[in-house]
Every structure is written in C-alpha cells, then in structure tokens.
Amino acid sequence: MIPKIRGGGSKTRVNTLIVNIKCQGSSREVRPESIVCRQPVVVLRTANDQRLATNDRLSENQSMIHKILPVGPLQCNCSIIGDETTHEAMVIDPGDDIEDVLAVIRQNKLEVKQIVITHAHLDHVGGAMKLRALTGAPILLNQNDYALLKMLDVQASWLGMAAPGEVAIEASIGDGESLQTGNLTANVLHTPGHTEGSVCLYFPAEKLLIAGDTLFAHSIGRTDLPGGSFEKIMRSLHERVMTLPDDTLVIPGHGPRTTIGEERKENPFLVG
C-alpha cells in the first residue's frame, strides 16, 4: 500500500496496452518508510515498444499470456496470467476495477482458476470478493495476513475509500508451495516485511517475479504500517528475492517494471 496520491488524476485505459506508472524522482533522502512515488506520470507502452514482447507477453514462453492493469486509486498492478493452450488463468491482486479485469479475461477467453493476493492491503484485495462471485475462483492469501484482513474497514478509513466488506479466504499459501495454472507454475516465496504475510510469486520457466509491495523499481515496500518490519523486509530481499537470476523480470505492486539485475545495481537499499 502507498499513501493517497494528492491531486488524484484520471486513469487511462487503452484496451490491451499495458499502463505503467513512472515516478518522478525526489531530491529528499530515501528512507524505508518513504512513499514509492509522489507525482505519478502515466506512461503507455505498446506492443511496438522494445521493452514489451509481442502481444503483451513478458517472456519468451509463448504459452503465457500476461496482462497488467493498474487498478484503483492507488494504481495497484493487477496481473492476469493465463495459459494460452488451456486458457486457465490466475488473477493476482485484483484491488479494484473488476469490470476492466473481466474485460481482459473475456477478451482472451480465459477461465480464472485462482485469485491470489500478495498481501492483505485494501488496494490489493479490495475487488477480490467481487471477482470471486463472478468467476467462482478461490481466493488465496498467506495466513500471516489474516489479522490484517480483518482491518480492511480501518484501512479504508485511512484512504477515504469504501470498505469492501468481509473477504473469504479459501486457503493459505505458504513458502515453497507451487501454484499451477494450466501448464504454468508459480513458486510461492514468503517475504515478510511490508506485512507479515507478504508473498511474491516466481515463475521459473518465464523468469518472472510478481513482487507485490516487497520490491519496487529502485525502492522497497514501506514498513511503517501495521505488520511492517524493516529488518524483516531486508532479510526477505537478501535471502529470497535477490537470489533470483539477474534477468528475472519484476512486476512490482505499483509503478514500472524492473529486473533483479537492475535492482542489484541501482536500488539504494540493496547496493553495497
């Protein structure tokens, strides 16, 4: 979760274009509890952009469909990942704008089998029950965030948003487990620090990491909210996340994509 963005601003939707939020730099000293970005600038990247693979696929594995939608007031990166052969899919962090998420699902003729939540902050879980009602897919979350899940009404008051009501979790996901969607496999990495139950999903065949709010481009998740710990997030980053290959593509919970190699060289929390 990042703080409310001052001044708001309208969201941009362009069918299957991927929308990223690029953050303007700040001359202030970077601190663990600092926000990820201050003035969001929407950058559209089309399939002609060298940084995107053909047809929005983000890896060389042509059986993976991966669409990213920044959703809700805080522009959480919701990932829709599908197997092009079986058309089975998982949706990760459907925080809001479920109609837009459903439009992508229908456009690609996908059947949602799992709804995976990286951590129990409102901007990541807010639309999960609506998506569950429409698809029948179970909601998965690490059990260490169950207490935080019961605070959604409090979180909503912080952000000036409507509370989503009770969110029913079908099963906990833990470190070392694998989630299967068609022929695609994601390994669960438990990465406490931003919250106690934060997880990342690593797709080894595609070298793709869905990082939640653990790692951002040139920053890390804030640790000053309930359940946060700077010591734990640094341990998670060094012992779990940064052990992945340098060419691993990272999709953070907010903002632009990055790679493990880029963060190893440029992230002020990880350099040295």
pLDDT in tens, the chain (272 residues): 543 222 233 333 322 223 333 333 333 333 332 223 322 222 223 233 333 332 344 444 568 999 999 999 999 999 999 999 999 999 999 999 999 999 999 999 999 999 999 999 999 999 999 999 999 999 999 999 999 999 999 999 988 888 889 999 999 999 999 999 999 999 999 999 999 999 999 999 999 999 999 999 999 999 999 999 999 999 999 999 999 999 999 999 999 999 999 999 999 999 97
Closest CA to 151 of 134, 164, 170, 137: 164
For residue 272, what pLDDT is reported?
Answer: 72
Per-residue pLDDT of 24-41, as tens digits, reads 333 333 333 222 332 222
Query: How far does the chain reach from its first CA to its final CA, in angstroms?
Result: 27
For residue 208, what pLDDT is reported?
Answer: 98
DSSP 187-245: EEEE-TTSSTT-EEEEETTTTEEEEETSEETTEE----STT--HHHHHHHHHHTGGGS-
Residues forming beta bridges with residue 69, ordered by sequence position: 78
For residue 1, what pLDDT is reported?
Answer: 58
Residues forming beta bridges with residue 179, ordered by sequence position: 186
Helix, strand, coil tally for the chain in percent (to 5) = 20, 25, 50
CA 182 to chain centre: 21
Distance (Å, rounded) from C-alpha 212 to C-alpha 250? 10
Which domains does the chain show, CATH number per domain? 18-24+37-266 (3.60.15.10)
Closest CA to 81 of 173, 231, 186: 186
Enter the pTM of the model.
0.80
- Phi, psi values for residue 98, rounded to 5°: -65, -30
